[in-house]
Amino acid sequence: MTGDRRAIIRRRALAKGLGLLPLALAMSPARAAPPAPRTLSFYHTHTDERLTVTYFESGGYVPGALRAVDHLLRDFRTATTHVIDPRLLDQLYALTQCCGGRNFEVLSGYRSPQTNAMLRQTTAGVAAHSLHLEGRAIDVRLAGFDTARLRRAAVAMARGGVGFYPQSDFVHLDTGRFRTWGAA
C-alpha cells in the first residue's frame, strides 16, 4: 500500500470518527449539575449570637463564610478562634437535610487548651485530647427537634463521632473515626 493510499484511509477514518462525535456526545451521560449551595443557621447559647451563612456554593467552600463560622464557634471563655473543619459543617448540613432545616443551638465549638483543662477538672467525660481542641467537634441541639432523634439520625449517617448527653440535652458530633457513646 502506498503512502498516498494510507493517508486517504486515515482521513476517511478520521472523518467517520468526527461524524460520529455528535452521536457519542448525545449518548454520553449528562453533565452533573454543580452541588447545591449549603446554608446553616446557628444560635450560640452562651454568647446569644446568631448566624445564618451559606458556607458552600458554586462547588466550593466560601472563605468569608468559613471565617464567620470560625468566629461564632470560638472558645467563648477565652475569645480564641480556630479554623473549624468544613467536614463538620457538612455533617451538620446533612443532618438538616434528613431532620429538617432548623437552627442549631451551639453549646460548644472550638475549645482552647485552657478551657478543655478546666472542663476536665469540673465536668465528667471531657476527653484530654478532645477534637474540640482541633476545631473538629461541636456540641449541639437542633431547635424544635428531639435530641434522641437527632442522635439516631447522626448515628445512621455513620460519619465521625456521635455522643449523646440526654441529661444535658445535646449531641456531640465530630469528624474523627465513626464511634458512638452515651445513652441510646
CATH number, residue 77: 3.30.1380.10
- How far is CA 61 from each of CA 36, 66, 97, 175, rounded to the nearest angstrom? 12, 7, 18, 17
Q: Compute the distance between CA of residue 150 and CA of residue 184 in angstroms, rounded to an integer.
A: 11
Domain co-membership, 25 together with 44: no
Residue 25, pLDDT score: 47
Q: Is the pLDDT of residue 19 over 60?
A: no
Q: Which tops the pLDDT comparison, 19 or 30?
A: 30
Which is more confident, 177 or 22? 177
* Mean pLDDT value across the chain: 88
* pLDDT tens digits for range 32-46: 778 899 999 999 999
Query: Which pLDDT belongs to residue 164?
Result: 96
18 and 68 share a domain? no
Note whether 27 and 79 are same-domain residues.
no
The model's pTM is 0.81
Residues 103 and 153 both lie in one domain: yes
- Kindly state whether residues 147 and 109 are assigned to the same domain: yes
For residues 116 and 166, state if they share a domain: yes
Lowest mean pLDDT among 3-7, 48-52, 60-64, 112-116: 3-7
Residues 25 and 100 in one domain: no
Residue 110 has a pLDDT of 98
Same domain, 83 and 114: yes
- DSSP readout, 107-154? EE----HHHHHHHHHHSTT--TT-GGGGT-EEEEEETTS-HHHHHHHH
* Domain containing residue 46: 38-182
- Copy the grid coordinates of residue 2: 502506498
Same-domain check for residues 139 and 164:
yes
Query: Does residue 114 share a domain with residue 24?
Result: no
What whole-number distance in Å separates Cα of residue 136 and Cα of residue 173?
8
Residues 57 and 97 in one domain: yes
Residue with cell 449518548: 27
**Total domain count, the chain:** 2
Q: Are residues 27 and 80 in the same domain?
A: no
